Structure 1
Amino acid sequence: IDQMFIGIFILLLILKPIACVIIYDTTDDNAHGVRIAGNDQFIVYGMNLVMGFHINFAPYVPLPNCVYMNTSRDFYVYSLDVVFNNDNNTSDQLFTFVQISEQMSTQNIYFSIITVNKSLCINGNMSTAIIRDTLILNGTHQEYMLLKVVPSQKYACVFADTFALMFDIVNNEIIELKDSYTFYSYSYPIIPHAIDVTDTYVIGVAYAISYINPNIAVVIAFLCELQPFRSINYTTIIDMNTLTQTATLATTYNIANQMSIAVNNERQMAVFGFPLINVVLLLNINTTSTNTSQWNINIMRTDHGPPNSGFGQSVAWIDDKTVAILLYSINARSWSQSEVWTFAVDIPLQIPLSVFPNNQQILDVDFSVTFFQMVLWSNNLYLLVIYNFVILVPSQAPGYQSIWYNDEDFYSTIFQSAPCPSGTYKNEAGYGVCTICPPQTKNRGNEPAIECSSCLSNSFCPLGSIDDVTLINYTSYIQTFAYPDSPDMNNYDDIIVQNIFSIGHSVRCLIIAPLFWASLAIALCFIIWFIMTMGKVFNCQIIVRHRDNAKKFLKNTDIVGEGERWIGGLSSFAIVVLFGFTFWFAADYHQLYPIETSGPMHASCDTTMRNAIFDNALQLPLSNPDGSRWPIFDMLDAQPFTMSLDLINTGADCENITIQQNRPGVNYVTLSNLSCLMQPDNVTLTATFPLPQHQLEVQLNISGVYSIGGIRLCLRGPGIINGSSTLQTLDTCTLLFTTNETLARTSTVSVSLIK
């Protein structure tokens, strides 16, 4: 028995250190807490991988930055936060932040106040820093430790698995340290996952082991008072009916259990993000009562994001009316797996006001970026991304935006300031993108724009316009025409009789009508006859003298009675008029053949008249008796095509344009014979290139942030004559645009030619 006892004791001694081994993943900076923070003076990123931190100082421009590393400290940083330096007059080179850490060799918990001197940053490296460590607990491993500095900058709050801490930063001393069971007055573990603070209270979200079923955890929101430091109450916000989470998963770190919360003290509201089920909750914080025991939290609204998107991975307030929501896995872009969506908070979070990254604010990297955490202050966006990297998108003044900047910093990238591109404007400060100009407004982009100017009323100014464009220079035209119908009357005698005795209803038809002019001639003849008759009756010597001369003249013009009667000469004038119009009609009718080269009919009221009879039967392209095809088909196959694309109302230059031929199963082929021309209006780009074959897929690529109001696609080919076969010259253009819109990021146009 003694030998068995000794064996068991030795076995326990062997197993005990094995069971207590804790693995610290220094490559995952999203684990166990929040290690990025910033204010208007500096930003800091705690890097466990190199046992140090990365700092950038304001003003936030690409470079300079500082890296501090101390591999002798085996402190695993869980969370940190920055302290605002209110004494810039005497210590403008000193910057302080605080962190909560666990020593990996002992599992001791330390609260650290770290002060760095900006002047000691040389060539991006800082060799020394003032670090004041305070031991909080001995040998007590924590899965989560969350730290926030109170807005007054005097205190810091820490919430962990087994304790809650309030620390005096100014005097470097512990104010309150309580174990979790005592602090929450709850008999089961509460594991905090996210907190935020004001000067009077702390709000947090946590997994709480259910007292009904200790194997299950529910999501709660808790409210704590700062003076005195105590828990007031908590409420379940995600119950077991919505999510069934095991106690084992709830009490250990995994990215699926990510939570985030952000408070707005002015609105007495908080936004809670729970990406596991893609929901964001809007919470009301009731702290109006002087009796703090009556303070409470209520759910105002629940918003659901896209399925499996990690909606709510991180949340933040931009101002009192807008919030930013991080989506962990939206898979929207090849170069970014995550996005930050901005919403108006007072309406359901369905349609974002803006999205980051976007076509103006791209991430110019060689891998798909994933965002883990987000921090916002003064409209600056600070992101922790995959591969131990951080991105800062600084707030810019109206008329400017932040765009990607390629620097040589291994750990971070700070976007740089740039004026709003042509066709956009920005009328407020922020990290966000410039807004596209509304329809009938424009921006040339020559200088920062806080608004777009008006376009001319008759110009083409769609969404995102750069300048006024007159579409008369880019009209559509085709070489096809409607198949005409055969005329109802095809006998020439009937056609000419109908033309003589019809007048029509328009002034033009009246002027060219033979019957109208013949009637005028008859009326004139009647007047002359009446005058001559009255002169004879009343024996007017003047009329009688001229009457004899007129009779001789009229007898000579008599084509009816062959010169026998002068009255026949009068009627001959009407006949001459009819004959004149008849000959004019005949000549014009003759010019209507063939119809391919004829114009409109001038001698008839009906301008669509055709000198042809049409057969509606289709003629099949049968082979020749020897089996060969008609030559015209070989000529069609051999006709070379040239395509032209007019990109209308765009800021793109020729250097931004490339043309490629896409071929299935193989890489694309770049078409090198590209001719590019900027039109005189300076906002229309024409790309012309020969097509290597008739059946193909051509892709035009535009690099850069440019909108396109519309396109005109033209296809041209030379004419060919081969014996009796004539292939006409191909020249057709089609204008494509949508009123008050701009071209989509990817647009497809299909062109089909029928022989």
Structure 2
Amino acid sequence: MECEIRYRYHDLNVYSLSALTMKPESDIFSFVQISENTSSNHVILSVVTSNITSYKRKNEPTMLNQIVWTHDRHESILLKIDPQEEYAYVFASSFVLSYNLFTKKVVQSFNNTFFDENVETFIPKAVDLTNELAIVIGYSSYQRFDIDLWKIYAIQLRPKMASLCPISNASDIIDRIIRMGKSEQTSKNRNYGMSVSINPSGRFTAFGSTLLNLVRIYEISDNKNCARGNVRFGTIRPNIGSNMEDMGFGRSGAWLDDKGTLAVLVYKSRNQTWSESEIYVFKNISTNTNIVDAQPTFILPNNQQTFAPLRKASFLSILAHANNLLILRNDHKYLYVPATEAGNLPTLIDSWKCHACIMRPKPCVSGSYKDAPGISPCTVCPSGLKKPGYHSSVHCQPCSSMSFCPRGASDEVNLNDFFSYNQTFSYPNSPIIDNYDDLLILNFLNIDQTIHCIVASPLFWAALAI
């Protein structure tokens, strides 16, 4: 089902929103958004509710608006709801606040010195959180040196909000090499995106930087102690060609499960056969991971999952939940890639006219298998194994030792069914000739006694010239 919600407030500039989980057998859909009134510069937090059964009549949604900030303009405002859907947290360039979704009241609010009293300004660019902890990534402008310095902060959410420590101080990745140009270029340029994603257990945090084309995996043993020895990190860096420095690796990231499966958005694809962007999926990722010229486990789209019949487009962001993947495209379409059971892969899309496009499963083709659930494509059967038929299969069957069974075989061929022929006569050996040079010189300088040969000789004309 697809529905469209129209605002009656045309002077609201929406910065961020987060959807609430629908209750079972309910037709009420709700989300929370943070916006700015372009006339008064007031920041408004809204709880928007709509009945999805009346979407065809284009009824206006119910909006509970509350002004939460009245000072200054804002370069960035981020909103995120905790997993228990009890609080909404807002991180902006001028303030930070928490909002109780049950009492509909602001619980805490702080000014721009909340993150670090020693930092002049901090512009948040990405945030992810658990029920107790938030990780916020952004940059601080240093006018004296005309640079932007990216920083990462760990934020305690309960029982009260507090900035614990800047994680960036524990690693020289931030303080040394993530330095950029003027701040006005940073906030509005898609090439300078950053991302953060916390895995389901809250143990690992993936931080991506498109400027550096890398992803860092952080693990903090004590959230209140960000000393260098207390923070471990690994690195994933793709193989970048001479013309792919701006490929946008790490623009968005999402953990698909709690077993180290990480999806990373690559904004500019190397192979633009099916799409202008790609999703790299890595498995078994942890802080022990240090991959240079990294090769992903698989890439979306691929020759089994081409995203057809959708037109080629760029990907702006990705989200993950329970091993399912959601892709936001620049043509205003959403592509939902559900995790399928073992033996099947998500690949079918009904129509290119869809707005929210859902991939449906189909069995692995003959000669391939899939032994685990997820969004991955099927794997080709190795040599000596086969998978006949067009049906779901979690493994390949062994072939007979007396059969021909190559890689990707759908069936085997018995070698006893073919006769072997021996050649009756062998080819004669070629004679050994080692006087080619003598033959060439003999024929090149050969001069007969005829007048014509003497006149045509180069030696004759050379003698005349001398």
Normalising by the smaller structure, the TM-score range is: 0.7 to 0.9
The structure in which a higher percent of residues are helix is 1
Give the share of equivalent positions with the same residue, in percent: 28
State the 1:303 CA deviation. Answer: 2.5
- CA RMSD, aligned part only? 3.0
Residue equivalent to 1:356: 300
- Structure 1's 455 and 214: CA in aligned 2 closer, same or farther, altered over 3 A? same
Residue equivalent to 2:17: 80
Preserved contact between residue 78 and residue 146 of structure 1 (Cα < 8 Å)? yes
Amino acid at match of 1:221: I
In the alignment, is residue 219 of structure 1 matched against residue 145 of structure 2? no
Alpha-carbon distance in 2 for matches of 1:242, 1:317: 26
Amino acid at match of 1:115: T
Residue equivalent to 1:68: 5
Of residues 35, 53, 60, the one that matches 1:119 is: 53
- Structure 1's 146 and 111: CA in aligned 2 closer, same or farther, altered over 3 A? same
Residue equivalent to 2:34: 100
SS of residue in 2 equivalent to 1:397 = coil
Q: Deviations over 1:67-109 (max 9, x none)?
A: 2223653322222222224x52xx6222222111223344332
- Structure 1's 184 and 443: CA in aligned 2 closer, same or farther, altered over 3 A? same
Which aligned pairs between 1:311-710 and structure 2 lie closer than 5 A? 311-320=249-258, 321-343=260-282, 344-346=284-286, 347-349=289-291, 350-365=294-309, 367-407=311-351, 409-470=353-414, 483-485=427-429
Alpha-carbon distance in 2 for matches of 1:476, 1:371: 56
SS of residue in 1 equivalent to 2:29 = strand
Alpha-carbon distance in 2 for matches of 1:301, 1:317: 15
Preserved contact between residue 309 and residue 352 of structure 2 (Cα < 8 Å)? no
Preserved contact between residue 396 and residue 402 of structure 1 (Cα < 8 Å)? yes
Alpha-carbon distance in 2 for matches of 1:149, 1:109: 17
- Structure 1's 126 and 422: CA in aligned 2 closer, same or farther, altered over 3 A? farther
State the 1:442 CA deviation. Answer: 1.9
Residue equivalent to 1:276: 211
State the 1:367 CA deviation. Answer: 4.5
Residue equivalent to 2:162: 230
In the alignment, is residue 305 of structure 1 matched against residue 220 of structure 2? no
- Structure 1's 363 and 200: CA in aligned 2 closer, same or farther, altered over 3 A? same
Bigger mean CA offset, 456-465 vs 324-333: 456-465
- Structure 1's 246 and 459: CA in aligned 2 closer, same or farther, altered over 3 A? same
State the 1:476 CA deviation. Answer: 10
Q: Deviations over 1:610-646 (max 9, x none)?
A: xxxxxxxxxxxxxxxxxxxxxxxxxxxxxxxxxxxxx
Amino acid at match of 1:152: Q
Preserved contact between residue 311 and residue 352 of structure 2 (Cα < 8 Å)? no
Amino acid at match of 2:149: V
Q: Deviations over 1:204-223 (max 9, x none)?
A: 11112349x45222111101
State the 1:312 CA deviation. Answer: 0.8
- Structure 1's 479 and 267: CA in aligned 2 closer, same or farther, altered over 3 A? farther
The structure in which a higher percent of residues are strand is 2
Residue equivalent to 2:448: none
Q: How many residues align?
A: 415
Alpha-carbon distance in 2 for matches of 1:208, 1:476: 76
Amino acid at match of 2:277: S
SS of residue in 1 equivalent to 2:183 = helix
Residue equivalent to 2:65: 133
State the 1:468 CA deviation. Answer: 1.4
- Structure 1's 287 and 473: CA in aligned 2 closer, same or farther, altered over 3 A? same
Preserved contact between residue 344 and residue 392 of structure 2 (Cα < 8 Å)? yes
Alpha-carbon distance in 2 for matches of 1:197, 1:162: 20
Alpha-carbon distance in 2 for matches of 1:104, 1:410: 33
Preserved contact between residue 225 and residue 232 of structure 1 (Cα < 8 Å)? yes
Preserved contact between residue 238 and residue 295 of structure 2 (Cα < 8 Å)? no
Of residues 168, 176, 180, the one that matches 1:245 is: 180
State the 1:359 CA deviation. Answer: 0.7
- Structure 1's 445 and 143: CA in aligned 2 closer, same or farther, altered over 3 A? farther
Preserved contact between residue 80 and residue 128 of structure 2 (Cα < 8 Å)? yes
SS of residue in 1 equivalent to 2:269 = coil
Amino acid at match of 1:335: W
State the 1:445 CA deviation. Answer: 3.5
- Structure 1's 486 and 326: CA in aligned 2 closer, same or farther, altered over 3 A? closer
Q: Which has the larger radius of gyration?
A: 1
State the 1:427 CA deviation. Answer: 2.5
Q: Deviations over 1:491-523 (max 9, x none)?
A: xxxxxxxxxxxxxxxxxxxxxxxxxxxxxxxxx
Amino acid at match of 1:287: D
SS of residue in 1 equivalent to 2:191 = helix
- Structure 1's 386 and 482: CA in aligned 2 closer, same or farther, altered over 3 A? farther
TM-score by length of 2: 0.80
Amino acid at match of 2:156: E
